[in-house]
Amino acid sequence: MEEKNFKSGFAGLIGRTNVGKSTMVNKILKQNVVITSDKPQTTRNRINCILNTENAQIVFVDCPGFFKPRNLLGDKLNRIIYGVLNDVDLIIVMTDIAGGIGTGDQFVFSKIKSKKQPKLLLLNKIDLISKKERGGIASKLQELKDNFVFFDYILPISAKTGENLDALVQILLKELPEGPMYFPDDMVTDFPIHKMIAEIVREKLSQNLFQEIPHSIFVEVESMKEKKDRSGLPLMNIECSIHIEKKSQKGIIIGKSGEMLKKIGTLARADIEELLEKRVFLQIWVKIVENWTKNESYLTRMGY
Residue (56 or 196) nearer to ligand GTP, CB: 196
Q: Do residues 120 and 171 lie in contact, with contact meaning Cβ atoms separated by under 8 Å?
A: yes
Least distance (Å) between residue 226 CB and Mg ion: 31
21 binds ligand GTP (CB under 6 A): yes
β strands within the chain, DSSP E: 7-15, 47-53, 56-62, 90-96, 119-124, 153-156, 218-228, 234-244, 280-288
Residue (21 or 27) nearer to Mg ion, CB: 21
189 binds Mg ion (CB under 5 A): no
43 binds ligand GTP (CB under 6 A): yes
Describe the chain by its helix, strand, coil percentages, rounded to 5.
40, 25, 35
46 binds ligand GTP (CB under 6 A): no
Residues 112-131 as x/- pattern, contact with ligand GTP by CB under 6 A: ------------xx-xx---
> What is the rounded distance in angstroms from the CA atom of residue 42 to the CA atom of residue 203?
8
Stretches 39-47, 99-107, 208-216, 240-248: which one binds ligand GTP (CB under 6 A)?
39-47
- Phi/psi-derived region of residue 126, left when phi > 0, alpha when psi is between -120 and 50, beta in every other case: alpha
78 binds ligand GTP (CB under 6 A): no
Residue (207 or 237) nearer to ligand GTP, CB: 207
List Cα–Cα distances, 76 to 65, 117, 146, 294, 302, in angstroms: 12, 24, 34, 10, 12
Least distance (Å) between residue 82 CB and ligand GTP: 15
Upper half-sphere CA count for residue 278 (Cβ side, 13 Å): 16
Residue (8 or 32) nearer to ligand GTP, CB: 32
29 binds ligand GTP (CB under 6 A): no
Tell me which residues in 141-200 interact with ligand GTP (CB under 6 A). Answer: 158-160
Tell me how far the alpha carbon of residue 154 is from its chain's centroid. 21
Residues 204-243 as x/- pattern, contact with Mg ion by CB under 5 A: ----------------------------------------
Upper half-sphere CA count for residue 152 (Cβ side, 13 Å): 16
Least distance (Å) between residue 168 CB and Mg ion: 17
Residues 7-46 as x/- pattern, contact with Mg ion by CB under 5 A: --------------xx-------------------xx---
Question: What's the DSSP call for residue 216?
Answer: G
Reduced to 3 states (helix: H, G, I; strand: E, B; else coil), residue 154 is strand
List Cα–Cα distances, 5 to 71, 113, 157, 166, in angstroms: 46, 30, 28, 20
Among Mg ion, ligand GTP, none, what does residue 52 contact (CB within 5–8 Å per kind)? none
Upper half-sphere CA count for residue 201 (Cβ side, 13 Å): 27
Tell me, by CB under 6 A, how many residues bind ligand GTP. 23
Nearest CA to 214 out of 36, 12, 23, 22 is that of 36
Contact residues toward ligand GTP (CB under 6 A) are 17-23, 36-38, 40-43, 64-65, 124-125, 127-128, 158-160
Give me the residues that bind Mg ion (CB under 5 A), please. Answer: 21-22, 42-43
